[in-house]
Amino acid sequence: MAESEPHPRARRALHGAGARIKTLARALSKLPWRAARGALWRGLAALALVALLALASMRWIDPRTSAVIARENRAEENSGAPASLRWRDLEKISRHLAVAVIASEDQRFFEHFGMDFTELSKSLSSRTGRLRGASTISQQVVKNLLLWRERSYLRKIIEAPLAFYIDMVWGKRRVLEVYLNIVQFGPRLYGAENASRHYFGKPASRLTRYESARLASVLPNPKARSPLRYDEESRARQRHILRQMRAIGGVGVLKGM
C-alpha cells in the first residue's frame, strides 16, 4: 500500500517550522561570537587575577578557616562542636615542631620551589604509578586551604601552579607558618596550638623535641593515628622522625627564617 501524502495542514506546519529554524540560524550567524568569546576570556582572566591577588594577600592576612575545615563542618554539622583554627604566629610555635613536620613530610622543603620534581619522578616511576608521597608542604597548604583531600590527577594539576605561586609570593617562612596552623593532627583537631593543648595540655610554643616528633608522627593520616599511642608501629615512626630531625640539622635548618 502506498504511503498517504501528509495532510495539507501538516505540510504547512512543517514548512513553517523549517522557516523559523532558518530564520533563527541566520540570526545566530549574525551574532558577534568572536567578540563574545573575547569578552568571556577577558572575564575569566580578570577572575583569575582577582583570585591570585586574594591568595597573595594571605602572605599578610591570616586565614580564619580552610576549605577542608569548612567541608568537614558541613558534613558533620549535627554531630558535635565544629572544627576551628586557633592561629599562632610562627614565633609562638615550637621550632622543634617545625623541624619535625619538615623531617616527616618534606625534607627538601628548602630546596624546591613548591613542587619537588625529584620525589614526583620517583612516585610516578614506582610500580603502582600512584602519586602517594609526592606532596610538598606547599602543595599540602594549597590542598587544605583551597581544594579537597581526595587524591586525583585533577587536584594535582591544580595544586602544582598554586604551590609554585605561594612558594614564590609568600616565601618559605609564611608557607610553613600557614601549614602549621591548618594541618590536621586528629579528628576535628587542626593546627599546632589546638593539637598541643589537646594532647599535651600546653601551648605549642612549649612543645619539646620528643613531643613534636610524636605530633608529626600522625601525618599524613591523623584520623587513624594518635601521638598518644604507644604500639610498636607508632614508636618506630616517632624514632624515625627523631633520626630525620637530626639528619636535616635540627632547629639549625630554620636559621634565617
The per-residue pLDDT string of the chain (257 residues; one tens digit each, 9 = 90 and over) reads 445 555 566 556 556 666 777 776 676 566 676 666 677 777 778 888 888 999 999 999 999 999 999 988 888 665 667 888 999 999 999 999 999 999 999 999 999 999 887 766 665 555 544 444 568 999 999 999 999 888 888 888 888 999 999 999 999 999 999 999 999 999 999 999 999 999 999 999 999 999 999 999 999 999 899 999 889 999 999 999 999 999 999 999 998 88
Give me the pLDDT at residue 256, please.
80
Give me the pLDDT at residue 250, please.
96
218's grid cell: 600522625
Give me the pLDDT at residue 79, please.
65
Q: What angle do CA 152, 154, 155 make, to 5 degrees?
A: 70
Helix, strand, or coil (residue 156): helix
208 vs 206: CA distance, rounded Å: 6
Give me the pLDDT at residue 135, please.
87
Q: Compute φ and ψ for 184, nearest 5 degrees.
A: -90, 130
Q: How many structural domains does the chain have?
A: 1
Give me the pLDDT at residue 186, please.
94
Q: Helices 137-146 and 95-105: crossing angle, nearest 10°? A: 100
Q: Considering the domain boundaries, does residue 181 fall inside one?
A: yes
C-beta of residue 111 within 8 angstroms of C-beta of residue 219 = no
148 vs 145: CA distance, rounded Å: 8
Preceding omega of 203 cis (within 30 degrees of 0): no
Q: Considering the domain boundaries, does residue 110 fall inside one?
A: yes
Rg (CA), the chain: 27
Give me the pLDDT at residue 1, please.
46
Q: Considering the domain boundaries, does residue 26 fall inside one?
A: no
For residue 237, what are the domain limits?
A: 66-73+84-254
CATH number at residue 92: 1.10.3810.10
- The per-residue b/e assignment along 90-103, b for 16 or more CB within 10 angstroms, e otherwise, is beebbbbbbbbbbb
Report which residue type is found at 128: T
Give me the pLDDT at residue 131, please.
47
Q: Considering the domain boundaries, does residue 57 fall inside one?
A: no
Q: Considering the domain boundaries, does residue 2 fall inside one?
A: no
Q: Considering the domain boundaries, does residue 212 fall inside one?
A: yes
CB within 8 Å of 204: residues ≥ 6 apart: 88, 92, 93, 94, 97, 180, 192, 193, 195, 196, 197
Q: Considering the domain boundaries, does residue 27 fall inside one?
A: no
21, 25, 26, 27 alpha-carbon torsion, rounded to 10°: 100
Using CA atoms, how far residue 16 sits from 11, 27, 117, in Å, is 9, 17, 63
Q: Considering the domain boundaries, does residue 147 fall inside one?
A: yes
Neighbours of 199 (CB within 10 A): 19
166 vs 142: CA distance, rounded Å: 8
